[in-house]
Amino acid sequence: MMYKTKKDIKEKLRDQYKWACNGYLVELLNMWELDAHYGYWNSDEPGTVYHYAETHNLTMEDIIYIVENDIEEDEVLEWEDYCLDAYEFKFATPNLRAWHMGCPRTPKETFDRFRQLQADLNKAVEEEKQRMKQ
């Protein structure tokens, strides 16, 4: 009987993990009909963050959740857009699982209103600065 060293076991586990990560990624790419050359793993390490379409990022946890729950790309893009809006105004950003399950959300119109109020405030400040220079 051949005994494996800890090193052999760890190497085997790493290989299995990479295979699993790449397997989930391939399934995601097939689900969304994306080309395999559409993105890349962070630092070329499967299981880290997958970057695609120049501006989108998915963690391994996101990829697994998407595949296991057959989530369409449009829903993920909507979630990403919401997170950008929420981050801009320092709101909590939900993870994909919470988003998919229907967590409370601030409407897009509210974020748009905040942007307009912010622009109005910036304009008023600039006008006051100009007035003070006279």
The residues, ordered by sequence, that sit 6+ positions from 61 with a Cβ below 8 Å of its Cβ are 95, 96
Per-residue model confidence as pLDDT tens digits over 78-129? 999 999 999 999 999 999 999 999 999 999 999 999 999 999 999 999 999 8
Domain ranges of the chain: 1-70, 72-134
pTM (two decimals) = 0.84
